[in-house]
Amino acid sequence: MLNLYRAATIAAGPLAGVALRRRASRGKEDMSRLGERFGRASASRPPGALVWIHATSVGEALSVLPLVERMLNALPKGHVLLTTGTLSSARLMKGRLPERAFHQFVPIDRPDAVCRFLDHWLPQLAIWVESELWPNLLRDTHRRQIPTVLVQGRMSAKSYRYWRWARRLIAPLLAGFDQVLVQTQADANRFRDLGAVQPMVTGTLKYAAPVLTAEETTLREMGKALGVRTRWLAASVHPGEFEIVYQTHLVLRSRFPDLLTIVVPRHPSSASDLEKEWISKGLSCARRGVGVELSPETEIYIADTMGELGLFYRISPVALIGGSFVDHGGQNPIEAIQLGCAVLTGPSMFNFSEVMADFVANGLSVSITTPAELPEELSVLLAAPEHASVLAQQQKKAIAAKAGVIDKVFEALVCRLPAPE
């Protein structure tokens, strides 16, 4: 099966270049760094020990920052290469990675690109984060006898059903890992069934991730513009959820005349069409991405900028976590909770099953089954800010209790680090 996949990626090689250039023309790739996607490094390999960590996108990259720090402390002269596949994660990591850590885009999963990447960087340890498994890249890493570890491995029931049909493809990839560290016992069972050897449950590093930042001047200005207005946040909203937010706003507006609904789309490119639709329905909207300032008349504030979730969590007493009313599995609730924002979710939170299980066990879950329940739950919290504050603090305490996961993960990895110079 792996040989068939390899042959297919070779045959489709020219199409990959066309697709990447088309994405770059649409602003979804960095044209100046497109060579990295073909395995052509844009930087020299630093001397000495090099640990390579691959994270899919923003959330995974942020979650491994404490691990990067631990690695660098253990290797005083070593370096960490972090690869991701998204433009947003590359931009964010530029300002967040510590000294001796640097970012490159992951190469496309084509044998020639993979070979160039590994030939240049020659990592002495490869760490893969969560569930993005590129067959050519993984197989060639294994063939070069580079130790490989999967950290905070996650396997949803949906992914598990798919991979059971493609077991011949995934089994040798999982068996090739020297160590598999997963988030929950359910993940361990699924990974083991698909071929992983003795997966270990350590939890998710997102418990220990640094809090999202916010620019102090912007935070003060936003606070002045908001005053004492009643407000709530719909964070990382996916297509299929915007109508739920709209209907919820209409219900809440009748109960809270000064209501402001802040909407952060998961994909900022959807903001323009969203603004036009809601204005056509009679709502007063302001769109941050085009510089429209928030005013007392603004009903819905569309925050379509990158890297500002930390700002909006700080100014919102309660947030709905997007991706939880569609079959996505939810976005990261920990980021909001760390900043004192009470969290509500829809029924689809399988990406964060460990977090939700903890909340249920401690009576802290506000998981909403149907969209019709959302305005009712929000009304309770908005009408009694002290209740929202207590819920937020209790959720925050539950999250803080799990921050020691970084110790478990590092202890499992430390024996595989290259020898310090």
Question: What are the catalytic residues?
Answer: 60
How is 187-229 classified by DSSP, letter by letter? HHHHHHHTT-SS-EE---GGGGPPPPP--HHHHHHHHHHHTT-
One-letter amino acid of 203: G
> Would you give the DSSP letter of residue 256?
-
CA–CA dist 151, 135 (Å, integer) = 17
Written as one string, the DSSP assignment of 337-385 is HHTT-EEEE-S--GGGHHHHHHHHHTT---B-SSGGGHHHHHHHHHH-H
Q: How far apart are CA 74 and CA 56, in angstroms?
A: 24
Q: How far is CA 420 from the centre of its chain?
A: 31
Distance CA 208, CA 34 (A): 32
Cα dist. 307→91, 168, 205, 280, 333 in Å? 9, 39, 20, 29, 16
Q: In the sheet that 231-237 helps form, which strands lie side by side, from edge to edge?
A: 285-287, 300-302, 260-265, 231-237, 318-321, 342-345
Q: Cα-flanking dihedrals φ and ψ of residue 264, to 5°?
A: -110, 105
